[in-house]
Amino acid sequence: MAVDQQHGWPVRLLYRDYLRSPAAFAAHVERFRESLTLYLRAWERHAVRFGASSWIEPRWIGMLYGRWYGSAGDFIRGALEEYARVFTTLCLDAGPYCPPSASWLQHLNEQLPQQAGVTVVVADETLMYRFPYGHPVREKRGELNSRFLDAEDFGARLRISFRPLATRIGMVILPLARIYATDDVRPAWLLQRLDAFLAGLSREYRYAVELANPEFAMPEYLACLRSHGIAHVLRHEGETDTGDPFLTYTDGRLSSLVDQLQVPDILTAEFCVVRVARQHPQRDLLLGIRELVRRCVRDRVSLSVFVDTCAGRPAPLLILELLTALNPELAQYSPMKRQAA
């Protein structure tokens, strides 16, 4: 299947530009890469890394990708190598019903540079309180999950599913599936189960918990994560004027990153991870990232920022805009400026 058949975008116009002057096409991409790489490497010296949630985005051809791919298969195989020339971190989402194949993970391991790391978002069944009604197994649909937050079960499936990529994985994100009000789950009960689950996890990796229910992110929850050295995932999906930083929109989205950072002791580990699902409004995103970077550099907390491909602007372009806006902070942290002071 050709790339343009799988993704609706003006591929013919782009292909015409490519054919007119492949050298100019590649030179434009190279200039963009150089601008992005300079900022990325500079921030990595302060343990701040930026990356994308996926590299499989054909609309980045002509921006981050300088080669032309005739099919979706060729693109998926080759684009990773181009992505890894610029970014040293990658976020890989693994669905609960179709884990990546061993051959596919082996391909990732071979294509990524030695210094590159992978953050894996593992949406495993053990993180579901109740099986969704769209579950592929009919008998499970809508039923309570008897293996909910079972650390032994989760650890075994994680080791089996990601064995070919084990040495690359630096962080595992645990997305707890949404628990609906009709289930009447008490926060104290959930916190007890979560505490036992986190205590039973192998310390082979670093872990971060991503909540789909912001109302459970209480001080006791943050204290639980802190006691296990596990991070709370911050997400930027917009803004709210409710006055409560952990209330959601009517469509279930979280409040903005700026609001979440007002919560005391929101940084619960020596590392932090942010997932940017939407860049609206961009001003709030910049304010949130700027404050978070300031805190992490001050407290020597390593920071990973992943921009989803569903953002309103292409992820590499949004990352470059953020890095450009953060340039004053980067100059402030420069060793030469500190020495001069």
Is the pLDDT at 240 greater than 80? The verdict is no
Residues 108, 222, single domain; the answer is yes
Of the pLDDT bands very low, low, confident and very high (cuts 50, 70, 90), residue 103 is confident
Q: Provide the pLDDT for residue 335.
A: 61
Cα 16 to Cα 23: distance, rounded to the nearest angstrom: 13
Q: Provide the pLDDT for residue 277.
A: 77
Query: Within a 10 A sphere around the Cβ of 83, how many other Cβ atoms?
Result: 23
Of the pLDDT bands very low, low, confident and very high (cuts 50, 70, 90), residue 15 is low
Residue 7 lies in a domain: no
112 or 193, greater pLDDT: 193
Of the pLDDT bands very low, low, confident and very high (cuts 50, 70, 90), residue 246 is very low
Q: Output the CA angle 278-282-283, nearest 5 degrees.
A: 140
Q: Which residues contact 286 (CB under 8 A, 6 or more apart)?
A: 322, 325
Q: Provide the pLDDT for residue 44.
A: 95
Q: What's the token pair of residue 31? A: 């200039």
Residues 200, 263, single domain; the answer is no
Residues 271, 339, single domain; the answer is yes
Range of the domain at 322: 24-50+59-68+233-341
Q: Provide the pLDDT for residue 254.
A: 54
What mean pLDDT do residues 149-167 have? Answer: 92
Q: Provide the pLDDT for residue 53.
A: 85
Q: Within a 13 Å sphere around the CA of 47, how many CA atoms are in the beta-carbon half? A: 15
- Please state, for a pLDDT cut of 70, what percent of the chain lies above it: 84
Residue 18 lies in a domain: no
Q: Provide the pLDDT for residue 238.
A: 53
Among 195, 229, 263, the domain-final residue is: 229
- Please state, for a pLDDT cut of 90, what percent of the chain lies above it: 54
Is the pLDDT at 210 greater than 90? The verdict is yes
What's the mean per-residue pLDDT of the chain? 84
Range of lowest pLDDT (23-32, 160-169, 208-217, 236-245): 236-245
Residue 338 lies in a domain: yes
What mean pLDDT do residues 307-336 have? Answer: 82
Q: Provide the pLDDT for residue 14.
A: 62
Split into its structural domains, the chain has a count of 2
